[in-house]
Amino acid sequence: MIDTHTHLDTRGLEDLELMALTLEKVVTLAHDPFEMKTLDVWEVHLNKVLSEIKRGGKVGLDVYVCLGIHPRAIPPSVDEAIKLLEKYIKLDKVVAIGEIGLEKGDKKEEEAFIKQVEFANKVGYPIVVHTPRRNKEEITKKILELLQTFNLKVDVVIDHCNKEIINSVLDQGYYAGLTVQPGKLTADEALNLIKDNLDFSDKIMLNSDTSSNYSDVLAVPKTVLKMKLEGIDKEVIEKIAKKNAESFFKF
Amino acid sequence: MIDTHTHLDTRGLEDLELMALTLEKVVTLAHDPFEMKTLDVWEVHLNKVLSEIKRGGKVGLDVYVCLGIHPRAIPPSVDEAIKLLEKYIKLDKVVAIGEIGLEKGDKKEEEAFIKQVEFANKVGYPIVVHTPRRNKEEITKKILELLQTFNLKVDVVIDHCNKEIINSVLDQGYYAGLTVQPGKLTADEALNLIKDNLDFSDKIMLNSDTSSNYSDVLAVPKTVLKMKLEGIDKEVIEKIAKKNAESFFKF
């Protein structure tokens, strides 16, 4: 099983150990722990996220990393940040650009998002896209419209999907990330979304979005258990809990 | 009960909630989450530590803050950092300078430590002093020697005490912090140190040092339970688990 979206740097070692007991791989992403006042602050954050590879290793957790500019944590110069990103993505176990996306959807966020999609497309890295809690439908529509303007050669996952947005995401050929976390989806809601979209079982991935907020580090295995109890086909479970992530992140 | 030394910014909200169920107050301190490459990076860290007051508030946890330069996270200019500290310590719920101290005990660390003790003494804030795991006895000796050179008008707690250093700490009139955490003290070891030093029950405080490493957010209540089961005098327990912290931090 693979947890495709976490922020391990917000958590104690016990949580990483619990994940190591149940998960083959975990992906941890850049996010918004503080104001990215300068480029140095943002770079320090990238290094913090990268250091989770080593910390995970201590307890047997196989950690992979996505780096990028979160819409709630944009450093002063996006261009300079992307130049730095160009160096950092070459590091071992960095597998994608993320999480990027829109939160409020203003011009500044749009600029950072567009430039990063452009960059990811150029360097051939998959993209993990954040969608917000507020105005999710409206902001996701904007995200999908922006993505349409690119001739994308890389895979994209639209994360934190719910019933309002999952259809448009899957219909347009993107991966859909299901986040099982208090305030996002319950395991039962994720199960229902999976059952409603079995035709798209090649394009659904699971995650806990473990962060400093209430989270369930066992969200992925718990959702897998729900799928088993519901009698969902073994191969479908295998894809949603593991194979799709392997295809997407290429690890 | 009061947990006098934590790093809440390394932990999920569930841990803060668990603390709120068992503790009246928690003190969270500046530490070493990343390299303090620039003064801005350090300031971002101070703000992150301060933001735990609000996050704690969400789950009913009464959080107080200590700010300072950790010996493993010294920004480029200590003087500029202390100038910033002068502004930050005036903020609501900032109760002490810390954690400061020595790790390896080199000149750079000594300089940062001395300047901060000087500063704390000038502004009248108590000081929380870190002692390292390695060469604890030798480095603590150095810390105590440095402290002797000051005409101290403020209280000092020497934290992470073990059986090697607690006597010299208490004999010289400082508070002794007992950290119940894997790799530091077990609750039983803390209990024994308390029993061996009952004459100093006015000067002993408890903490969990909850951090990104293995920690027990319930370390203080668990140690209090051990004290109760051991039949330690109720007033002594009250002092060690609460009153001493109230005297020291003045909250």
pLDDT in tens, B101-123: 999 999 999 999 999 999 999 99
List residues in chain B touching A: CB distance below 8 A.
9-15, 33-35, 37-38, 40-41, 43-45, 47-48, 51, 55, 210-215
Please report how the helices A39-58 and A13-22 are oriented relative to each other, as an axis angle in degrees rounded to 10. 60
Buried b (16+ CB within 10 A) or exposed e, B95-112: bbbbbbbbbebeeebeeb
List residues in chain A touching B: CB distance below 8 A.
9-15, 33-35, 37-38, 40-41, 43-45, 47-48, 51, 55, 210-215
- What is the topology classification, in CATH, of domain B2-249? TIM Barrel (3.20.20)
Check B38 against A40: CB less than 8 A apart.
yes
Cβ contacts of B168 within 8 Å, gap of 6 or more = B140, B141, B144
Is residue A55 within 8 Å of A16, Cβ to Cβ?
A: yes
Check A12 against B15: CB less than 8 A apart.
yes
Q: Give me the pLDDT at residue B9, please.
A: 98
Q: Tokens for B156?
A: 């000092």
Q: Which residues pair with B205 in a beta bridge?
A: B177
Banded pLDDT at B173 (limits 50, 70, 90): very high
Q: Give me the pLDDT at residue A244, please.
A: 98
CA A219/CA A11 separation, integer angstroms: 15
User: In chain B, whose CA is at the least distance from the CA of A211?
Assistant: B12
Q: Give me the pLDDT at residue B159, please.
A: 98
Q: Give me the pLDDT at residue A113, please.
A: 98
Give chain A's length.
Answer: 251
CA A19/CA A6 separation, integer angstroms: 11
Question: What's the ipTM?
Answer: 0.92
Q: Give me the pLDDT at residue A68, please.
A: 98
Sign for the CA dihedral angle at B244, B246, B248, B249 comes to positive
Using DSSP, state whether A28 is helix, strand or coil: strand
Check B215 against A10: CB less than 8 A apart.
no
* Placement of tokens 């002490």 in the chain: B96
Q: Tokens for B33?
A: 């989450």
Tell me the mean pLDDT per 10 residues along chain A, length 251. Answer: 98 98 98 97 98 98 98 98 98 98 98 98 98 97 98 98 98 98 97 98 98 98 98 98 98 96
CA A213/CA A99 separation, integer angstroms: 17
Domain ranges in chain A are 2-249
pLDDT digits 0-9 by tens, B62-94: 999 999 999 999 999 999 999 999 999 999 999
For residues B165-174, average pLDDT:
98
CA B68/CA B64 separation, integer angstroms: 14
CA B10/CA B210 separation, integer angstroms: 8
* Residue B82 C-alpha from the chain's centroid: 19
List phi, psi (to 5°) of B244: -65, -40
Of B13, B33, B40, the CB nearest to A37: B40
Q: Give me the pLDDT at residue A30, please.
A: 98
Three-class SS of chain B: CEEEEECHHHCCHHHHHHHHHHCCEEEEECCCCCCCCCHHHHHHHHHHHHHHHHHHHHCCCCEEEEECCCCCCCCCCHHHHHHHHHHHCCCCCEEEEEEEECCCCCHHHHHHHHHHHHHHHHHCCCEEEECCCCCHHHHHHHHHHHHHCCCCCCCEEECCCCCCCHHHHHHCCCEEEEEECCCCECHHHHHHHHHHCHHHCCCEEEECCCCCCCCCCCHHHHHHHHHHHCCCCHHHHHHHHHHHHHHHHCC
Question: Which value, in Å, is the radius of gyration of the alpha carbons in chain A?
Answer: 17
Q: Give me the pLDDT at residue A218, please.
A: 98
Q: Give me the pLDDT at residue B188, please.
A: 98
Q: Give me the pLDDT at residue A65, please.
A: 98
Of A34, A51, A214, the CB nearest to B48: A34
Check B40 against A41: CB less than 8 A apart.
yes
pLDDT digits 0-9 by tens, B109-164: 999 999 999 999 999 999 999 999 999 999 999 999 999 999 999 999 999 999 99
Residue B241 to residues B58, B188, B235: CA-CA distances in angstroms? Answer: 24, 15, 10
Give chain B's length.
Answer: 251
Q: Tokens for B235?
A: 């007033």
**Residue B75 burial by CB count (10 A; 0-12/13-18/19+): exposed, middle or buried?**
buried
Of A13, A34, A45, the CB nearest to B212: A13
Is residue A96 within 8 Å of A126, Cβ to Cβ?
A: yes
* Residue A32 C-alpha from the chain's centroid: 13
pLDDT digits 0-9 by tens, A3-28: 999 999 999 999 999 999 999 999 99
> Would you call the peptide bond into B99 cis, given omega within 30 degrees of 0 as the criterion?
yes
Sign for the CA dihedral angle at B198, B199, B201, B207 comes to negative
**Nearest CA to CA, how far is B213 from chain A (Å)?**
5
Of A44, A210, A213, the CB nearest to B37: A44
pLDDT digits 0-9 by tens, A101-124: 999 999 999 999 999 999 999 999
Contact list in B for residue A32 (CB cut-off 8 A) is: none
Q: In what order do the strands lie in the sheet with A25-29?
A: A2-6, A25-29, A63-67, A94-101, A127-130, A156-158, A175-179, A204-207
Output DSSP code: residue A40. H
Please report how the helices A136-148 and A107-123 are oriented relative to each other, as an axis angle in degrees rounded to 10. 40
List phi, psi (to 5°) of A38: -135, 170
